[in-house]
Amino acid sequence: MATTTFLSNATVAIGAVDVSDQVQSVTLTTGFDQLETTAMGDSGRKYTKGLQSVDVTLTMFNSYGTSEIEATLWDVVGDDSVTLVISPSGTTESATNPEWTITDAYLESITPINSTVGELSAVQAVFRGGVATRDIT
């Protein structure tokens, strides 16, 4: 039985801003709506894929200043044409390190201040929609 160990070191860019050094976790979920194609005479239900659905959840350590987390999120909140580029381990894409590009994603809201005494400030951003493509070259 083959086993592998994968140590996460994802890279994440929001638009042209590389935020990898502030990302604590990233989750990319993608799939397709199911459309029923069952017709008269079929003995069971049949389906085909419909529109793609994409969700990206980023948990990041908050920081303030030009090209930092708060400013980067502020620039794209409410924007329906955000591009995200995510790779599980580094920036060189390959069969073992695919790069995902999500275009036309939407960020509904942000929490620019999330502060607790004695803890690092972390914020979560959930991008929805758009189209995800996978590149291994």
Model's pTM, two decimal places? 0.85
Work out the mean pLDDT of the chain and round it to a whole number: 92
Could you report the per-residue pLDDT of 87-127, keeping only the tens digit for each? 988 777 888 889 999 999 999 999 889 899 999 999 999 99
CB distance 17 to 72 below 8 Å: yes
CB distance 64 to 73 below 8 Å: no
User: How high is the pLDDT of residue 1?
Assistant: 60
Q: What is the dihedral of CA 12, 18, 24, 25, to 10 degrees?
A: -10
Mode of pairing for the β-strands spanning 122-128 and 47-61: antiparallel
Q: Where are the domains of the chain?
A: 11-36+46-135
Residues 29-58: b if buried by 16+ CB within 10 A, e if exposed: ebeeeeeeeeeeeeeeeeeeeeeeebbbeb
User: How high is the pLDDT of residue 17?
Assistant: 94
Cβ partners under 8 Å of residue 92, min gap 6: none
